[in-house]
Chains A and B, each alone.
Chain A
Amino acid sequence: AQTVTQSQPEMSVQEAETVTLSCTYDTSESDYYLFWYKQPPSRQMILVIRQEAYKQQNATENRFSVNFQKAAKSFSLKISDSQLGDAAMYFCAYRSAGSGGSNYKLTFGKGTLLTVNP
């Protein structure tokens, strides 16, 4: 079974600075997807960014980018120019690429609580 590990329970960053959240995963599969979700105090889960394992290019969404190291099974999230609204719990998630309903479920890490200091 796949596992996702987020080794940083909490992180803090100064407003306008850059922060990197770590995520590692364990899998025997070669094709899969990785996601970062954000959960603000409202508790709603918001998709931040996604990465397809077969793509070597790192995904980027505005101020959010990832460093995907497939061999190392590492998938870190970089937030540039941090804003107060970025304060939230961030979850890394893994999904198999195979077809069939069971492969569409996500396995989540335990999350990293990000604090943004003004």
Chain B
Amino acid sequence: SQTIHQWPATLVQPVGSPLSLECTVEGTSNPNLYWYRQAAGRGLQLLFYSVGIGQISSEVPQNLSASRHQVRQFILSSKKLLLSDSGFYLCAWSVLSGRVSPLHFGNGTRLTVT
């Protein structure tokens, strides 16, 4: 069965520090991968998605970047964090093809920038 691992679960970082969040999917070949952010009291905003190695699409211009150097790993990064980067970050995957393919989410990372 497929599993998705996201770490760390919680992170507190000072403003201006770098960021690296990791997401790894097991049990599926070449999935679509996604990074969503959920700000307090708001819905989920899609940040990045990837359909394959090196293929990253950005939905919202921001202080973050994403990379995919391995088929089942998706990394969210920042060179210098801003206070506005605080939030709950969710990684998700879906199959590459097929009709009703829902997103399957990791447990999320709560990021607090101080």
A contacts, CB < 8 Å to B: 33, 35, 42-45, 47, 50, 52, 91, 93, 97, 99-102, 104-111
Contact = CB atoms under 8 A, between A and B. Distances in A.
Nearest to B93: A104
Interface stretch (B12-20, B71-79, B99-107): B99-107
B97 A99 contact: yes
A23 to B, nearest CB: 12
Contacts of B52: 101
Contact of A108 (B43, B49, B100): B43
A44 B43 contact: no
Contacts of A97: 99
- B contact face: mostly helix, strand, loop, or mixed: strand
B32 A104 contact: yes
The 6 residue pairs across chains A and B that have the minimum distance between CB atoms: A101-B51, A45-B105, A110-B43, A108-B44, A108-B43, A104-B94
Contact of A44 (B46, B50, B103, B108): B108
Contacts of A33: 99-100
A101 B57 contact: yes
Contact of A91 (B32, B43, B59, B88): B43
A43 B43 contact: no
Nearest to A54: B99
Contact of A102 (B57, B105, B107): B57
